[in-house]
Structure 1
Amino acid sequence: MVAQLRIYTINRGMMASWLQLFYEHIRPLHERLGMPVQNAWVNAERTEFIWVRSFNDREEIEAKEAAYFASPERTALGDQPTRHIAKIEVRVMEEVPATAGVS
């Protein structure tokens, strides 16, 4: 499994509306398209929204992201998501087997 740690700096004063948009539209669409959201957190001091979504492998990321952006649901959102976000940082992480390092 591969996961993305996604850190979004949300524009000041917009966290509440971002959370509503995320939980009403963005997360359900990700789930429907096979990009499960593992969890989400808020770092209020830094206005960061941090979330993790997972994939079977790296190759799946590009295809599923393309499907997301091409979907009618995402198109209907227009620039709502991007208006909330000042900065995006994405880190791809690979799962470590439970037996890693065990001899």
Structure 2
Amino acid sequence: MPKTTQLRTYTVRDGRLDEWVERWRKEIVPLRLELGFTIGGAWVDREHSQFFWLISYEGPETFAERNALYWASPEREAMSLDPDDYLVHTEERTVEPAY
């Protein structure tokens, strides 16, 4: 399958941005990497309580299939991390390089 990259934009609940970033770094990133995803970077906009990151996958499955594997994994379940506890709004856009 060709490489798929998503730009993900999350609006985080007031006062929870730092906690979200910490959990994302320590729990989400290692599992994503273990499952073959790559992370192209992550940024915060403190003024708007937003978190942005680039995630890519290139492998035998589609991005959607691999993403479903992530969500169904026992490791993800063991996180006891409900995105709704942190995120008010999420947006995922599939993007491609222009430069």
TM (normalized to structure 2)? 0.87
TM superposition outliers: structure 1 runs of 4+ over 3 Å: none
Whether 1:46 and 2:48 are equivalent positions in the alignment is: yes
For the 8 Å contact 1:2–1:95, the answer to whether it is kept is no
Runs of at least 5 residues in structure 1 that lack an aligned partner in the other structure: 99-103
Q: CA RMSD in A?
A: 1.7
Structure 1 match to 2:6: 4
**d(CA) in 1 for partners of 2:64 and 2:29?**
18
Percent identity between the two aligned chains: 33
TM (normalized to structure 1)? 0.84
Structure 2 match to 1:67: 69
Give 1:78 deviation, angstroms: 2.7
Give 1:79 deviation, angstroms: 4.0
Equivalent position SS for 2:62: helix
Equivalent position SS for 1:78: coil
Matches within 5 A, 1:21-100: 21-56=23-58, 60-96=62-98
Runs of at least 5 residues in structure 2 that lack an aligned partner in the other structure: none
Give 1:76 deviation, angstroms: 1.3
Over residues 4-39 of structure 1, what are the superposed CA-to-partner deviations in whole Å (9 max), with x where a residue is unaligned?
000000100001110111011001111110111110
Over residues 45-83 of structure 1, what are the superposed CA-to-partner deviations in whole Å (9 max), with x where a residue is unaligned?
1100000011228x6211111110011111112343331
Between structures 1 and 2, the one with greater helix share: 1
Question: What count of residue pairs does the alignment treat as equivalent?
Answer: 96
Larger Rg: 1
